[in-house]
Structure 1
Amino acid sequence: MKSDNRIFCFSASNTLNALVASVIFCWVPAAAAQEQGTDPGVSSAAIAQAVELRDQAMQGTRAYEWVESLTTEIGPRPGGSAAEASARQWAVKKLSAMGFSNVRIETFPMIGWQRGEEEAAILEPYPQPLAITALGGSVATPPEGIEAELVVFKDFAALEAAGPDQVKGRLVYVGHQMQRTQDGSSYGFWGKVRWDGASEVARKGGLGIMIRSIGTDEHRMPHTGSMEYAMDAPKIPAVALSNPDADQIERIAARGVTVRARLRSTARVVENLESGNVIAEIPGRTHPEQIVIIGGHLDSWDLGTGALDDGAGVAITMEAARMILASGWMPERTIRLILWGSEEGGVFEQADDGGLVGGRAYVYAHRDELENHVMGAESDFGARRIWQVNYNVSDAARPAMQLMETLLAPLGIAPGDNQSSSIGPDLIPLKAAGLPAFSLAQDGRDYFDYHHTADDVLSRIQPGQLDQNVAAYIVFAMIAANSSIDDWGWGAASDGN
């Protein structure tokens, strides 16, 4: 197979009984390659090792073992909770036993949130209970709850267009038309109602908001997730309805009747909590101060066991790093595994806004060495196969990316483009500081059936698909950590989002 950048050609042969890879490289002279801007700066030995480990992973890994252990022995892991602290100790024990260097926990203070009790019902004209869940960060209702007329809007745009006279003194329901997509793009578009809906209702005098869950399933399991309050609006309670219950409300409203509903929630913000990022390293041989990051987030929502979000990401990247370490290969740069704390919700006390607490805390703690971070990749989109690689790097780093594409292609991973802004959630604060964007995109067509629900459990994971993910993260880490390219585009490709 010939690479697109015409630097080398290789063939790899494997057998089930012997993981043997033969790699034949046809390098153009180094000076000529550098002049043409096509040299990825990776030795033939490092590429051969990446190919060998990639193919070894495809024969089976221990990733499923790690996610099974985490979800069984710890279970749900809300940010700042005792369970999340237990997950950090679980990770330290595992990583230390694997032989990683510099295994540690970097703790940070945070403001968290607890769900409490929650219930809702239609009172008139057709009395019946509703399956709801409070949104992360929501305030409680009054102790006795709220009983009021329920006004229905088909989506966030309809709510925005409504006058205060349609909302004041009422409970508000808002729907949406989220669809399945491979890349999850529908989530970002329709998710606005979850993030901003409460403040929009509050500005118009509404008492509380019920949204259709940001999900694609037909199960009676509501989806939680973080919401935000604007500074210019009162704080009102916000909950999500399961999709079947949302359908029920819309059918009732379509009959032209007045709907009255009841909502009660005891959710509360909790201050003075502690979370932390777990860090383990494979030290670099020649440039130990330069960092390549892989990882996932340890915390989860409280409804399920966080198998897909993000036990799978923890397991995938732990295993990729473990396999590199176990091979005895010493990378040129340090490979840093970060198992992030409190990604799902909460507030880092040094930041003005909420969410991504572990990522914000990491940037704050490492603010004097941020430019030593070369590249990063986070697994946080479930456990399905990776189907595409996207990035946004400098022209100098393009050959290294093209080499990655070549090595990822046998895994069924297609090249994307060099215009991507996608990056793992916990890496967003680093991206805002200048880290180039990089994403190994997983197939998300059914991810939002389970996302942030009680159905996010181990049985949703197929072990063989984890192995393909591990193989891909091995390729990323090996090439990024062993390329001699210095300019990866730090600062130039970041927009702060």
Structure 2
Amino acid sequence: MNFFYAPRVFAIGVILAMTSAASAQSDTNPPATVDADVIDTASQLIDTALNSSLGFDIVESLTTEVGPRLAGSEAEQRARDWGVKLGESLSFDRVSVEPFSMPFWDRGELQIALTSPYQQALYGTALGGSGTSDQPIDAPVVYFRSIHDIETVEAGSLKGKIAFIDGEFMVKSQTGAGYGEANHKRRVGWQHAERGGAQALVIRSVGSDSHRFPHTGMMSSKEDQWATIPVIAVSNPDADHLRRLHELGQTMSMRVHSTAGWKGSVSSGNVVFDLVGRDKPDEIVLIGGHLDSWDLGTGAVDDGAGVAITTAAAELIARLPHRPRRTIRVVLFGAEEVGLLGARAYAEQHADELDQHVLATESDFGAGTIWQLVSNVNAEANPVIDAIGRVIQPLGIARGGSDVPGGGPDIIPMAMQGVPTVRLNQNGMDYFDLHHTPDDTLDKIKPAELAQNIAAYAALVYIAAETDVEFRTKKDEPEASTADE
């Protein structure tokens, strides 16, 4: 893909002119600015990143040497070991693992087939949190056109049956719009099926592809309870087939046998890389991705790419003659796929120092090109974010909203505690073709697009760590108490 890069000298001139004009607006309270030498270094980082294979080398190593990395599994442990070796082989000042405990769910084995009106194997996968079946379940199928149709099912009315929730085919979009609604049946469908007394639940995969690759993913618990019945997602073509049979008035039956289930408490952990700031080592600019993956593919797009993008961006900054003023921290979060467990553990373990986390963001939406920068910072810091936007604009990235909360899934627990965020939005047009499927493999990553991501992250993170600006929204001063209170 061509990004139509503007000459760096022209970009720097535009930035300096705009920041100088902004500074002249107010002599009493001038807006934050970015020094010319910082802008120049950030632009040089972009050039370096676009001509580097470091990011692709990292994701190739992770997906090949470790492979799938189910949260809590032995494979995720090997991924942490891999992460430590990676950090120690690069230029980071500190490399550590921060452990936490978690419940472990294992996929086990699955057999699923249509048995009436004829025999046909179906392509399915157990959803995270699915219950087990000691013996094969042979039962008639009750068809539900959508999650909304099963929400009103009467208690006990599905006894001895297998429920099937269909749904609309998920529309492709750059932003991934539609995932939330489509994902509703995966999250809570089991609760309605169990209330109805169903022996098992089958749903249409939450994905935008037309391949016979089922999409896995985690369900939601209810009052800390999980499904006791098998909950299976079948591929979109198989769901289409079941719909057609239903529309023809055919009576359907299935056989389901799943050995998925919970296996007790295990240890997971977050891998942390630090570049210690030269002037303000206690102030942290945090970036990262999640190290675990679902186990159907090799987790290249979700989220080996994010691990590679953020690690490579920090490493390119580490190779500069001097460390930035603030500490840059890369966190490879554990157990994201099963409920942001690593992110929650990080926020708890670092609760006393989150006020020193000056900015945070994550790469966790594949490896497509970045097209937009959004932020949620102190209004007085927006000129710096705007300047970052102008530096990365030649990469084909537009400046978006300045009051957009988020930063990425693993950033949510920190953002809820007041940590400011930015987000580099990627083109997710094909993300939900691959998401949580056997098709999430290294060949789906385009090296040039990965390099564009690294270039944008390197520039953003360097400027944020080198510029003395307060990104955090200022809290109102508490009112003075009186003796009568």
What's the TM-score once normalised by structure 2's chain length? Answer: 0.91
User: 1:270 — aligned with what?
Assistant: 263
DSSP-derived class of the 1:28 partner: helix
User: 1:185 — aligned with what?
Assistant: 177
Q: CA deviation at 1:28?
A: 3.2
Q: In structure 1, which of residues 8, 12, 15 is the aligned counterpart of residue 8 of structure 2? A: 12
Q: In structure 2, which of residues 143, 148, 153 is the aligned counterpart of residue 157 of structure 1? A: 148
Q: 1:38 to 1:224 in 2, by over 3 A?
A: farther
Q: CA deviation at 1:491?
A: 7.7
Q: 1:46-81 CA distances to partner (integer Å, 9 max, x unpaired)?
A: 121111101221233311111111111111111122
Q: In structure 1, which of residues 328, 337, 352 is the aligned counterpart of residue 330 of structure 2? A: 337
Q: CA deviation at 1:236?
A: 2.3
Q: 1:408 to 1:449 in 2, by over 3 A?
A: same
Question: Is 1:198–1:229's contact at 8 Å kept on the other side of the alignment?
Answer: no
Q: CA deviation at 1:416?
A: 1.4
Q: Give me the whole-angstrom Cα distance separating, in 2, the residues matched to 1:260 and 1:29.
A: 71
Q: 1:358-411 CA distances to partner (integer Å, 9 max, x unpaired)?
A: 101101111111111111111111111011111222211211111111112111
What's the TM-score once normalised by structure 1's chain length? Answer: 0.89
Q: Which runs of 5+ in 2 are unaligned?
A: 1-5, 477-485
Question: Is 1:194–1:227's contact at 8 Å kept on the other side of the alignment?
Answer: yes
Q: CA deviation at 1:288?
A: 1.0
1:61 matches 2:53 = yes
1:176 matches 2:190 = no
Q: Give me the whole-angstrom Cα distance separating, in 2, the residues matched to 1:181 and 1:335.
A: 33
Question: Is 1:113–1:270's contact at 8 Å kept on the other side of the alignment?
Answer: yes
Q: CA deviation at 1:166?
A: 5.3
Q: Which runs of 5+ in 1 are unaligned?
A: 1-9, 15-19, 346-354, 493-497
Q: What one-letter code is carried by the residue in structure 1 that aligns with 2:394?
A: P
1:364 matches 2:356 = no
Q: CA deviation at 1:30?
A: 9.4
Q: CA deviation at 1:251?
A: 0.8
Q: 1:22 to 1:395 in 2, by over 3 A?
A: closer
Paired residues, what number?
A: 468
Measured on the aligned residues, the alpha-carbon RMSD in Å equals 2.3
1:99 matches 2:83 = no
User: 1:44 — aligned with what?
Assistant: 36
Q: For 1:212-361, what aligned pairs fall within 5 Å after superposition?
A: 212-231=204-223, 235-345=228-338, 355-361=339-345
Give the percent of matched residue pairs that are identical in Structure 1 and Structure 2.
Answer: 43
Structure 1 window deviating more from structure 2 (176-185 vs 152-161): it is: 152-161
Deviating above 4 A after TM superposition, structure 1's stretches of 4 or more consecutive aligned residues are 20-24, 29-38
Question: Is 2:130–2:227's contact at 8 Å kept on the other side of the alignment?
Answer: no
Q: 1:85-139 CA distances to partner (integer Å, 9 max, x unpaired)?
A: 1111212112112121111111111111111111111111122111110001111
Q: 1:427-481 CA distances to partner (integer Å, 9 max, x unpaired)?
A: 1111122222321111111111111111111111110000000011012201221
Question: Is 1:436–1:490's contact at 8 Å kept on the other side of the alignment?
Answer: no
Q: Give me the whole-angstrom Cα distance separating, in 1, the residues matched to 2:424 and 2:252.
A: 46
Question: Is 1:340–1:358's contact at 8 Å kept on the other side of the alignment?
Answer: yes
Q: Give me the whole-angstrom Cα distance separating, in 1, the residues matched to 2:217 and 2:114.
A: 23
Question: Is 1:21–1:52's contact at 8 Å kept on the other side of the alignment?
Answer: no
Q: 1:166-189 CA distances to partner (integer Å, 9 max, x unpaired)?
A: 534321111222111111121122
Q: What one-letter code is carried by the residue in structure 1 that aligns with 2:118?
A: Y
Question: Is 1:106–1:278's contact at 8 Å kept on the other side of the alignment?
Answer: yes
User: 1:469 — aligned with what?
Assistant: 453
